[in-house]
């Protein structure tokens, strides 16, 4: 059974699917079951520091930067999107990114807390629920 906001990838063609309404069936692409993307919170040295989203509360919302160390945004290695979700998963905001863009999402909202995810084209899906101490 799938759950809302789970992400799946086809290991043959690269299709990527996010569940918007859960169901009991199996997700299949190219005749094979799709692989559920696991959200990572840490990794090898330097990998996690460049991938775990950093959430900062701002005056009128939140800012999400990818990594405590700048993530490369090169043609062959970049962040594909940043996503912010309310804790109840009722509100979702996604910003798609391309090589050479700054991996930052600014969002006006009144949420007390949010969840942030990002997808690296090489290192996969990363998540954070932690707020930085920054309060600008």
Q: Are strands 7-9 and 35-36 parallel, antiparallel or unpaired?
A: antiparallel
Say whether both 91 and 31 belong to one domain: no
Cβ count near 17 (within 10 Å): 15
| Mean confidence (pLDDT) of the chain | 89
> Percentage of the chain with pLDDT > 70?
90
Tokens 């807390």 belong to which residue?
113
Q: How confident is the model over 39-94, as pLDDT tens digits?
A: 998 765 557 788 999 999 888 889 999 988 889 999 999 999 999 998 888 888 99
Give the torsion sign (CA, 75, 76, 77, 78). Answer: positive
- DSSP code at position 49: G
In Å, what is the CA distance from 106 to each residue of 31, 38, 75, 133? 39, 25, 23, 17
Residues 82 and 28 grouped into a single domain: no
Q: Give a yes or no: residue 121 inside a domain.
A: yes
Question: What pLDDT was estimated at residue 30?
Answer: 98
Compute φ and ψ for 44, nearest 5 degrees. Answer: -60, 160
Cβ atoms of 54 and 41 within 8 Å: the answer is no
**Rounded-to-integer distance, Cα 70 and Cα 50, Å:** 6
Say whether both 25 and 68 belong to one domain.
no
Distance in angstroms (rounded) separating the CA atoms of residues 52 and 122: 14
Q: Give the pLDDT score at 44.
A: 55
* Residue 2 domain-assigned (yes or no): no
CATH of the domain at 15: 2.20.28.100
Identify whether 1 is part of a domain.
no
Regarding whether 26 and 83 lie in a shared domain, the answer is no
Q: What is the DSSP letter of 110?
A: -
24 and 91 inside one domain = no
**How many independent structural domains does the chain possess?**
2
What CATH number should be reported for the domain holding residue 115? 2.60.40.730
The verdict on residue 43 lying in a domain is: no
| pTM attached to this predicted model | 0.86
Range of the domain at 11: 7-36
Q: Are residues 125 and 58 in the same domain?
A: yes
* 50 phi and psi angles, rounded to 5 deg: -95, -5
Residues 31 and 55 in one domain: no
């Amino acid at each position: 059974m799938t759950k809302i906001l789970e992400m799946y990838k086809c290991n043959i063609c690269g299709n990527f699917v996010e569940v918007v309404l859960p169901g009991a069936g199996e997700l299949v692409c190219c005749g094979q079951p799709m692989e559920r993307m696991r959200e990572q919170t840490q990794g090898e040295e330097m990998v996690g520091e460049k991938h775990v989203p950093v959430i900062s509360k701002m005056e009128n919302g939140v800012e999400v930067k990818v990594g405590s160390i700048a993530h490369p945004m090169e043609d062959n290695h970049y962040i594909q999107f940043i996503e912010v979700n309310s804790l109840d998963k009722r509100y979702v905001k996604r910003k798609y990114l391309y090589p050479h863009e700054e991996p930052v999402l600014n969002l006006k909202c009144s949420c007390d807390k949010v969840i942030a995810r990002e997808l690296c084209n090489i290192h996969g899906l990363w998540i954070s629920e932690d707020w930085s101490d920054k309060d600008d």
